[in-house]
Structure 1
Amino acid sequence: MKKRFYITTPIYYPSAKLHIGHAYCTTLSDILARYNRMIGKEVYFLTGSDEHGQKIAENAAKANKTPQKFVDDIVKTFKDLWEKLAITNDDFIRTTDPKHIATVQKIFTKLLEQGDIYLGSYEGWYCTPCESFWTTTQVGEEKLCPDCNRSVHLASEESYFFKTDKYVEGLLKKYEETPNFITPESRKNEMVNTFIKPGLSELAVTRTSIEWGVPVRENERHTMYVWVDALINYISALGYLSEDDELFHKFWQSEDVEIVQILGADITRFHTIYWPMILKALGLRQADRYFVHGLLMMKDGKMSKSKGNVIDPLPLIDKYGVDAVRYYLAREVVFGNDGQFTPEQFVERFNVDLVNDFGNLLNRTVSMIEKYCDGVIPLYRGQVTEFDTEIEDLAINVVKEYHEHFSDLKVTEAITTAFKIISASNKYIDNTKPWELN
């Protein structure tokens, strides 16, 4: 078992306040961080905000704010939410941080000098909300973004490109040799069959039409493409290419660290195709696992800030408490699958699991200790019954399964397994009827 654990969430886009889908990703990541601390690993847990791009500039203008003031205000709400959700991140990286910007510029220069980046021109269909270019085939006759199903527009501009063809073969080999590199496996198959096999386009890494971005030092008319800027946060936060790079060597380059990157299904392409290629070009090690969680859906489809059909987690936290919200997010949807969120489902899960099962067990147990034992937990000196043996054997197996599930990032299954103890304990009380004992 490796001694260290580095876990990252995606860095979220501060175009508006976060919703329950962002809380889902960050909470599950936090649970994994807490578990690994509990078993004695040294953990570094990173989250943050992706603050550049066309959409940010447009939203700032609508709000009559500078882009920096706009993101400063939104990021404060991010941090407030994570505090309310009891998130235990070790750092919060912002792509407007000078340290991050300096690292991005150094990486661009390094890749340019070694021939992995070249200057060219690009024409394609551009989706502003997703900050992504698409081919004519991908947008289809209706000219809709394959990711968000919104309209795209034709754009043409000078750009620097990253030579993806140089790294495709190595990436496919990594996929083949490392079964858990991308989880679930269906996401890996999607990347291969949808993007790589049809012919992977070289990646545009700069824009000339967007001012709100990291400047390219070698060509002042260009700013970094927002996705390239954003991906680098995972190593810039650790001090890569800076004078203080102790964390980078400790939590990235070391062979004694497990690197797990949690991401949503809608950003799989950039994280599992382009990001590993950039790491390879830089001569750095790869992450151990990319875990792609599913999407929380509403009754009318995908939850999206731009669609306005989102659930704010803060009222749920205020009404039911942070533990109830964290439990629901971890328990209701199998980590890795899509699932639907409704307030009705939340209340039902809260009442059935936490009020009826766990709450009832806690109330019965504490009440009997108070009534029959003067509030002191007694030593058990009675005869060992079949019921005692059953629950002891179950507890031993539950602990074993719990650790196995967490080692495979199966958070929902681990929680479901742990809940067996609650169900069995309620049954144990019903069977043994301790209130009838003398």
Structure 2
Amino acid sequence: MTSGDSFYITTPIYYPSDVPHIGHGYTTVAVDTLARWHRQAGDDTWMLTGTDEHGQKMLRAAAANGATPQEWVDKLVAEAWFPLLQTLNVANDDFIRTTQPRHEERVQAFVQAIYDRGYIYAGEFEALYCVGCEEFKTESEIVDGTGEFEGLKVCAIHSKPLELLQEKNYFFKLSEFQDALLDLYKNTPDFVRPDSARNEVVSFVKNGLKDLSISRSTFDWGIKVPWDDSHVIYVWVDALLNYATAIGYGADEEEFGRRWPGYHVVGKDILRFHAVIWPAMLMAAGLEVPRGVFAHGWLLVGGEKMSKSKLTGIAPTEITDVFGSDAYRFYFLSAIPFGHDGSFSWEDLSARYQAELANGFGNLASRTIAMIERYFEGMVPPADAYTAGDLEIQRIVADAARSADAAVERFRIDEAIAAIWTIVDALNGYITENEPWALAKDDAQRARLGTVLYTASEGLRALAALLSPVMPISTEKLWIALGAAETIGRLCDQPLREAGTWGVLRPGTSVNGLAPLFPRVEQN
């Protein structure tokens, strides 16, 4: 992208029927990091997250807890979902709740628009339904139950019995969009990423699309169908529309025009809704389809997808209370190739924290600043003549910045971090090779010592800028320790696409003492 472009990105809106686990946190920090990167690169950035609060599952959970549905969702959002954003240091621009009037009114306007355009009709429906997924199931998603559910048809994801529903519903003519969708995937090959997700979507659509039931009439916890208030809009249709309603669809056309279309990052289990149903709905309304849908993999714990029902869910605070939010963000975004499944283990997290953060990045920062304090009275020294080794560091920094920005464009945060980390590794090797502590003993080497420590501190300046979207807290501490806040300006204002330019940190800048960025963790 060129600086100043519009970059609108969303997380899925989460179903708050239970507390968030590290899988929800993973999606959220990935989107936050992408948004922070684009914001800091000068793009007109907007990040949306939120909660999906209607549907049968929520109605039943509220009843089981002796509350009205609204009381129940208010409690969940206040006690679990807003705090998640603080726990993980997420800088979202908006948080939409599907029970907000701004959403409900605009959903009705959208559904009315596609009804008026002839894409909705009344019909009768009978199908097996999973309340857990809030979804009617196709043959391939239904399995025979075992154990207590033997003889019953169960959901392949939840392993819970399916319910046979017979309802008079309104249907969306999804089948009419098969060719238009296949053209979209063909003409915009990166509309669905990664390739494995794209292939799955193309093959699903090629197999033929059935019209979609878009209303329910057996319960009332939802947004009323505007032309028939005995029906509520199917929760998934209501949920998908948040991406448009939050940025002004039907109310603020200027804002909607500024932001839309956007990018959606979703877990692969909800890919079809976003890559098939959602663009078809937008086509029906005469609107642009999204810029793209990126499906990330699952976080596996002990080889299984995390889920509360199977007790494999881990609360983000279990990690952040020990390691901090920066380490959480760094670990999940660097250890797992974005778009693939990844396994979580405490051992791996602990080992990476120690090796890469504490010993790699943290130690590099601490010892560089300590040497400037010791040998140059806390002032960044000027560089003298550069050697080939010094120029190699400058090349690595420039290459890393370029590669990281290109990787972010591809939604590969893991590759961006790997590119930036070449600077950490190169500087650690550079300090070992140049032995500033030995140079300091020889007055004749004073100019050389200055060059080595300027090179290390300017490398740290680039690292602070490039890593700030991933680890905002520790990079801010480093920025202040380098004295950069006083002389260059705020870290969040540093233009990321120019971060690899050499010579930004000014000689004579006063450094400040730096406590360990990643303190030793005592584990039981």
Q: Same fold (TM over 0.5)?
A: yes
Report how far residue 141 of structure 1 moved: 4.7
The amino acid that maps onto 1:31 is: T
Alignment of structure 1 residues 274-423 onto 2, 5 Å:
274-381=277-384, 383-423=385-425
Q: 1-side partners of 2:348 and 2:253: how far apart?
A: 46
Q: Which amino acid aligns with 1:337?
A: H
Cα contact 2:185–2:202 (8 A) shared by 1: no
| 1:226 aligned to which of 230, 235, 254 | 235
In 2: Cα distance, 1:141 partner to 1:148 partner: 12
Aligned residue type for 1:121: E
Aligned amino acid, residue 165 of structure 2: A
Query: What is the Cα-based RMSD across aligned positions, in Å?
Result: 1.5
Provide the C-alpha distance between the structure 2 equivalents of 1:66 and 1:188, rounded to a whole number of angstroms. 40
State how far apart, in whole Å, the 1-side matches of 2:292 and 2:229 are.
37
- Mapped to 1, the partners of 2:211 and 2:107 lie a distance apart of 19
Cα offset for 1:110? 1.7
Deviation for aligned residue 1:228: 0.2
Out of 162, 171, 176, the position equivalent to 2:172 is 162
> Shift in Å at residue 307 of structure 1?
2.9
Amino acid at match of 1:380: A
For residues 374 and 319 of structure 1, the distance between their equivalents in structure 2, rounded to whole angstroms, comes to: 35
Q: Distance in 1 between matches of 2:405 and 2:20?
A: 31
Q: 1:256 — aligned with what?
A: none
Q: Please name the residue that 1:428 is paired with.
A: 430
Q: In the alignment, does 2:10 pair up with 1:8?
A: yes
Where relative contact order (Cα < 8 A, 6+ residues apart) is larger, the structure is 1
Gap regions ≥5 residues in structure 1: 254-258
Which residue in 2 is equivalent to 1:116? 119
Does the CA contact (< 8 Å) of 2:57 and 2:131 recur in 1? yes
Residue 26 of structure 2 corresponds to 24
**Residue 260 of structure 2 corresponds to residue 252 of structure 1:** yes
TM-score normalised per structure 1: 0.95
Provide the C-alpha distance between the structure 1 equivalents of 2:207 and 2:16, rounded to a whole number of angstroms: 33
Which AA in structure 1 matches 2:11?
A: T
Quote the Cα distance in structure 1 between the aligned partners of 2:293 and 2:209.
20
Q: Displacement, 1:394?
A: 1.4
TM alignment of 1:88-167, pairs within 5 A = 88-142=91-145, 143-167=153-177
AA of the residue aligned to 1:377 = V
Q: Equivalents in 2 of 1:359, 1:202: separation in Å?
A: 55
**1:28/1:266 CA distance change after superposition, 3 Å:** same
1:149 deviates by 4.3
What's 2:186 paired with? 176
User: Does structure 2 retain, via aligned residues, the 8 Å contact 1:124–1:136?
Assistant: no
Q: Which position in structure 1 is the counterpart of 2:226?
A: 217
Q: What are the residue-to-residue correspondences of 1:58-73 with 2, within 5 Å?
A: 58-73=60-75
Give the unaligned 5+ runs of structure 2.
146-152, 443-524
The TM-score normalised by the length of structure 2 is 0.80
Query: Counterpart of 1:235 in 2: which secondary structure?
Result: helix
Distance, in Å, in 1 between the alignment partners of 2:10 and 2:286 is 21
Aligned counterparts of 1:267 and 1:113: Cα–Cα separation in 2? 28
Deviation at 1:84, TM superposition (A): 2.3
Identical-pair percentage: 41
- Rounded to whole Å, the distance in 1 between the matches of 2:345 and 2:112 is 48
CA shift at 1:198, angstroms? 2.6
User: CA, structure 1 residues 134+305, in 2 after alignment: closer, same or farther (shift >3 Å)?
Assistant: same
CA deviation profile, 1:140-173 (whole Å, cap 9, x unmatched): 4553324444432322211111001211100000
> Are the counterparts in 2 of residues 164 and 201 from structure 1 also a CA contact under 8 Å?
yes
Measured after TM superposition, the shift of residue 305 of structure 1 is 2.9
**By how many angstroms is 1:135 displaced?**
2.8
Inter-partner Cα distance in structure 2 for 1:355 and 1:336: 27
Larger of the two Rg values belongs to structure: 2
Aligned with 1:314: secondary structure?
A: helix
Tell me by how many angstroms 1:102 deviates.
0.8
Contact 1:125 1:136 in 2 (8 A): no
Q: Deviations over 1:291-332 (max 9, x none)?
A: 111111110511123333211111322222211111112111
CA distance in 1, matches of 2:359, 2:140: 53
**2:216 aligns with one of 201, 207, 210:** 207
Gap change, CA 1:136 and 1:398, over 3 Å in 2: closer
Residue aligning to 1:238: 247
- Counterpart-to-counterpart distance in 2, 1:390 and 1:408: 27
Cα shift readout 1:371-411 (whole Å, capped 9, x = no counterpart): 11111111122x43332122222112111111111111111
Distance 1:44 1:393 in 2: 33
Alignment-derived partner of residue 53 in structure 1: 55
Q: Partners of 2:136 and 2:292 in 1: how far apart?
A: 26
Conserved in 1, the CA contact under 8 Å of 2:178 and 2:208? Answer: no
The separation in 2 between residues aligned to 1:147 and 1:43, in whole angstroms, is: 35
